[in-house]
Amino acid sequence: MIAPPQASEYNPYYSRYLALVQGTDLTDVLDTQMGDSLQFLRGITEEKSLRRYEPGKWSIKEVLGHLIDAERIFSYRALRFARNDQTPLPGFDQDPYVAAAGFDSRPWNGLVDEFEQVRRATISFFRGLSPEAATRSGKANDSVMSVRAAGYVIAGHELHHMHVLRDKYI
pLDDT tens for 62-89 read 999 999 999 999 999 999 999 999 999 9
> Which CA distances in Å does 55 have to 14, 35, 41, 50, 52?
27, 31, 22, 12, 7
pLDDT at 103: 98
pLDDT at 40: 98
Percent of the chain with pLDDT over 90: 100
Helix axes 108-127, 26-42, angle to 10 degrees: 170
- Is the residue at 6 inside a domain? no
Contact 64, 41 (CB under 8 A): yes
Q: What is the pLDDT of residue 38?
A: 98
The pTM (predicted TM-score) of the whole model is 0.97
Q: What is the pLDDT of residue 112?
A: 98
Domain tally, the chain: 1
The answer to whether position 99 is within a domain reads: yes
Look up the domain containing 165 and give its range: 11-169
**Is 152 part of a structural domain of the chain?**
yes
Cβ partners under 8 Å of residue 151, min gap 6: 2, 26, 30, 74, 78, 122, 126, 134
**Do the domain assignments include residue 1?**
no
Return all residues near 153 (Cβ < 8 A) that are at least 6 apart: 10, 14, 17, 18, 74, 145
At 30, which CATH number?
Answer: 1.20.120.450
Q: What is the pLDDT of residues 33-44, one digit of tens each?
A: 999 999 999 999
User: Tell me, what's the pLDDT at 17?
Assistant: 98
- CA dist 162 and 156 (Å) reads 10
Residue 127 lies in a domain: yes
Q: Which positions of the chain have pLDDT values less than 50?
A: none
Q: How many residues does the chain have?
A: 170
